[in-house]
Amino acid sequence: MLKINNLHSAYNKIEVLHGISMTVPKNRLVVVIGRNGAGKSTLLKTISGLVKIKSGSITFDGEPLPSAPHKIVGKGVVHVPEGRRIFPSLTVEENLLMGGYLTKGSEFDECKQAVFDFFPVLKDRRHQQAGTLSGGEQQMLAMGRGLMGKPKLLLLDEPSLGLAPIVFGQVFDLIENLRDQGEMTILLVEQNASVALQLADYAYVLEDGQITMEGKGSDCLHNPKVKEAYLGA
pLDDT at residue 232, as a whole number: 60
Rounded average pLDDT over 156-162: 86
What one-letter code names the amino acid at 77? V
The C-alpha atoms of residue 154 and residue 186 are separated, in whole angstroms, by 5
The C-alpha atoms of residue 126 and residue 129 are separated, in whole angstroms, by 8
pLDDT band for position 192 (cuts 50, 70, 90): confident
The C-alpha atoms of residue 204 and residue 191 are separated, in whole angstroms, by 13
The C-alpha atoms of residue 65 and residue 72 are separated, in whole angstroms, by 7
The C-alpha atoms of residue 177 and residue 126 are separated, in whole angstroms, by 23
- Four-CA torsion 103, 109, 115, 119, nearest 10 degrees: 150
- Four-CA torsion 79, 217, 35, 158, nearest 10 degrees: 30
Query: 21 — phi, psi (to 5°)?
Result: -130, 130
- Four-CA torsion 31, 148, 84, 4, nearest 10 degrees: 30
pLDDT at residue 172, as a whole number: 86
Residue 182, pLDDT above cutoff 80: no
pLDDT at residue 107, as a whole number: 85
pLDDT band for position 229 (cuts 50, 70, 90): confident
What one-letter code names the amino acid at 60? F
The mean pLDDT value of the chain amounts to 90
| Secondary element (H or E) of residue 61 | none
> Where is average pLDDT lowest: 79-83, 183-187, 195-199?
79-83
Q: What percent of the chain has pLDDT over 90?
A: 61
Say if residues 206 and 40 touch (Cβ distance below 8 Å): yes
Residue 82, pLDDT above cutoff 90: no
| Secondary element (H or E) of residue 138 | helix 135-147
Residue 233, pLDDT above cutoff 70: no
pLDDT single digits (tens) 88-97: 999 999 999 9
pTM for this entry: 0.91
pLDDT single digits (tens) 83-134: 778 999 999 999 999 998 888 778 888 889 989 988 899 999 999 999 999 8
Residue 59, pLDDT above cutoff 90: yes
The C-alpha atoms of residue 45 and residue 52 are separated, in whole angstroms, by 9
pLDDT at residue 191, as a whole number: 85
Say if residues 82 and 158 touch (Cβ distance below 8 Å): yes
The C-alpha atoms of residue 233 and residue 36 are separated, in whole angstroms, by 19
Residue 74, pLDDT above cutoff 70: yes
pLDDT at residue 167, as a whole number: 80
